[in-house]
Amino acid sequence: MKVELVSYDEAWPKEFEREQAHLLSLLRPWLHGTIEHVGSTSVPGISAKPIIDIMVGVRSLNESIDAIETLRTHGYSTHK
């Protein structure tokens, strides 16, 4: 698989903030902790894959099965 890096985009922090708000509305029942912008797009000024990586804090993976299904039905992909 070929990975393409692009120059830093000043819009990435705002894109994350929009996604963060949307995720908060979807995941409030399961949320424990914060929703964080992680990965290369979260580092100002560096080249990155143009994909906003997000980490969501939950109490436990077992308790979050319904949250994962909610994410998938709204078009998100999830990784363990």
Percent of the chain with pLDDT over 90: 79
Q: What is the pLDDT of residue 9?
A: 98
pTM assigned to the model: 0.85
- Model confidence at 38: pLDDT above 90: yes
What is the model's pLDDT at position 3?
85
> Would you state the pLDDT for residue 80?
63
Q: Specify whether the CB–CB gap between 41 and 13 falls below 8 A.
A: no
Q: Can you tell me the mean pLDDT for 48-58?
A: 94
60-63: Cβ within 8 A, 24+ apart: 63/30
